Amino acid sequence: MGTSGGAARRVSVRVGPQVWREEVERYGQRSPARAAAERERHRVEDGGVALADVQRCADDGADRTRLAGLLKVYVPISAGPASERPFGFVLSPGRDEHGLYLTLVAFGERHPRQGVRSVYERAHKRLHGRYPDQ
Amino acid sequence: MARMAVAVKKLDVSLGDVVEIDGRRYDVVSDKAGGVTLEPAITQSVAEIHAEHGGQALSSEEFEHAFGHLPSDGEG
């Protein structure tokens, strides 16, 4: 599936096994973060994600992350306020012979406690090879 | 207070190394205080993730064409 047209355009989502291990399975089996990611993985792999639920990441974030070219979806995916969706998927758009797709590059807390990397810092490291403060 | 009997295992690692403990991988990173600390490892780049799927990331022009209209809240 690539993108489909109309007001509810959707784009397919792919999740690689290694990135899933590194991003989601670092959380405990019963953690709210892991439960939320696993629930949404089934939804987005089956039906893609609606572009209405997707935002562009910041080119130059206040946290010094530089995520130009990446997209994000707040988790749980819903129409509720962002304050009720504490986690995020960061996705990288790509293309292959089947068309456009999004692939998971980071998952985690949007505003973690001090000392824990945010989902944006983890995405920055995958994109640039180091954390923004290194 | 009695001293704890702890067997110290010395690791020969440097910043940027990846270590595996009990089946889980960790990056060796700076603790910003002159020492090092461990964080859950990130071992695959964005480009490598796309290659795993047989594709490649969009160019900046392709990105703007396909997704430039989407909002951004500036959070990250």
Residue A6 has what pLDDT?
A: 45
Q: What contacts A4, CB < 8 A, 6 or more positions away?
A: A10, A48
Residue of B nearest to A64 (CA): B76
CATH label, A10-128, candidates 3.30.2310.20, 3.90.1150.10, 3.40.50.2300, 3.40.630.30 = 3.30.2310.20
Local structure of A17: helix, strand or coil: helix
Nearest to B76 among A18, A67, A69 (CB): A67
Residue A55 has what pLDDT?
A: 97
pLDDT of B1 strictly over 70? no
Residue of A nearest to B47 (CA): A127
Banded pLDDT at B37 (limits 50, 70, 90): confident
Per-residue pLDDT of chain A (134 residues; tens, 9 = 90+): 455 554 479 999 999 999 999 999 989 899 999 999 999 999 999 999 999 999 999 999 989 999 999 999 999 999 999 999 999 999 999 999 999 999 999 999 999 988 788 999 999 999 999 889 87
Q: How far apart are CA A3 and CA A100, in angstroms?
A: 7
Residue A7 has what pLDDT?
A: 42
Q: Looking at the complex, does the CB of residue A87 fall below 8 Å from at least one CB of chain B?
A: no
User: How near does any CA of chain B get to the CA of A4, in Å?
Assistant: 12
Give the global pTM: 0.88
Q: How far apart are CA A110 and CA B73, in angstroms?
A: 13
- Please answer yes or no on whether B74 and A105 come within 8 Å at the CB atom: no
φ, ψ of residue B59 in degrees (nearest 5) = -70, 165
- Please answer yes or no on whether B57 and A72 come within 8 Å at the CB atom: no
- DSSP label of A105: E
Local structure of B20: helix, strand or coil: strand
ipTM for the complex shown: 0.91
- Please answer yes or no on whether B50 and A103 come within 8 Å at the CB atom: yes
pLDDT of B36 strictly over 90? no
